[in-house]
Amino acid sequence: MTSLTPAQFVRLVSAREINTRLRTKGFAIGTALMLVAIAGYIALVHLISGSSATVGLTSPVASLRPPLQSVASASGKKIETVAVAPADASAGASKVRAGELDALVVGSPDDFTVVVKRQLTGDLRTVFTVLARQQALNRQILALGGEPAQVDATVAAATVNTVALESGSGQYTQRLVLGVMAGGLIYIALVLYGQGLAQSVVEEKSSRVVELLLSTLRPYQLMAGKVLGIGTVGLLQFLILGVAGLAAALADGVLTIDVGAAAGMLAWAVVWYLLGFFLYALLFAAGGALVSRQEDIGAVVSPLLVLIIIPFGIGLLTVPTNPNSTLVAVLSLVPLFAPMLMPMRLGAASVSGLEAAVAVALTVVLLVLLVRVTGRIYANAVLRTGARTRLRDALRPA
């Protein structure tokens, strides 16, 4: 009988984990529930974005109120108009900046401009574009006596003018949302599959299955196979949710960013999922090897969960409001925090190429070091049953 190479042993263990977990009802039901949750969230965002908007009209453009309401009604958009006197135009702009008005229309009926805080998006852009073309059509009909060719050409070229009160990319908010959601998916994957890995190790110890496996395999081969197999299942679920969510959001019009930009965000999310999972999976596997009973898992898993929760909480509270925070910028370079914080900062476009490269490099360095350390802990502790193995004993050379 031909003996297997170490890589083949790792692949066998990995394939066993993949087949076992993909066939469980928990994987199918969990994935389905998360897909439903994502679909519900997209539908909610679409509903909210389609709700009423408040638009201020200065006196010179007050005559636009009836056609504006008519176009909005035909587009299925509810618009509430507010009269703004010419002398209060600056106050109206302040209300736009404060969020009290979604837009402020200034200028004249024949050449109006829409003042917005950052961008004119979604249904509101459609309404004003149609209104601008309608006004252009009326002008041409009056001036040219209804020449169809000239009317059509002018109407097709008409667009709505916008003035942004704050600088920033029109895709900023959507990229930020994608970054936060990517960080959230990574957080969920680390918590669920990290704990699942630790529980799997303890189950094999308590049932003595590990003794049978290690009669053929080396400990590091078993640990590597389990980490790779469970990580692959998590990556598959991550891709299903990410691709389905992006496709649904783009198709529904909730996301209007460039497809290439969305794909780039997904690619970065995959990179940080892989780095984060393997980083924490090694720690969860080593922690699981230290105990022999399911009721003792909490003692070794809880500190790791805290390390995952803290950066995610900091990012969730800080990045949307202050993406350039020094605290977040520093913590996003720390390997154990980077998998949750970096995707959020990448979405907020507050990360330079050098910062991203440094974060990846530091994480890879720690990952290489953890392979040796956690491998020793796993090898020294996985066959010990009974009382919890002390970390100091598990780190001693075999």
Q: Which DSSP category does 5 fall into?
A: P
- CA 56 distance to own-chain centroid: 34
- Under 8 Å between Cβ of 344 and 179: yes
pLDDT value of residue 1: 39
Query: Which residues of the chain, if any, have pLDDT below 70?
Result: 1-2, 45-51, 75-76, 86-88, 122, 146-157, 164-172, 252-256, 398
State the Cα–Cα distance between residues 278 and 272, nearest whole angstrom.
10
Vertex 338 angle, CA 365 and 265, to 5°: 110
- Under 8 Å between Cβ of 336 and 349: no
State the Cα–Cα distance between residues 52 and 3, nearest whole angstrom.
70
What pTM, to 2 d.p., does this model score?
Answer: 0.69
- Give one DSSP letter per residue of 36-79, joined into a string: HHHHHHHHHHHHHHTS-EEEEEEGGGGGGHHHHHHHHHHHT--E
Strands ordered across the beta sheet of 103-108: 79-84, 53-58, 103-108, 111-116, 161-164
State the Cα–Cα distance between residues 93 and 300, nearest whole angstrom.
55
State the Cα–Cα distance between residues 326 and 332, nearest whole angstrom.
10
pLDDT digits (tens, 9 = 90+) for 238-296: 889 888 888 887 776 666 677 777 788 888 989 999 999 999 999 999 998 898 888 88
Pairing of strands 161-164, 111-116: parallel
Spell out the domains of the chain, with CATH numbers in brackets.
6-44+171-394 (no CATH), 51-164 (3.40.190)
116, β-bridge pairs: 164
End-to-end Cα spacing for the chain: 30
What number of residues does the chain have?
398
- Under 8 Å between Cβ of 89 and 115: no
Tokens of 383: 């066959």
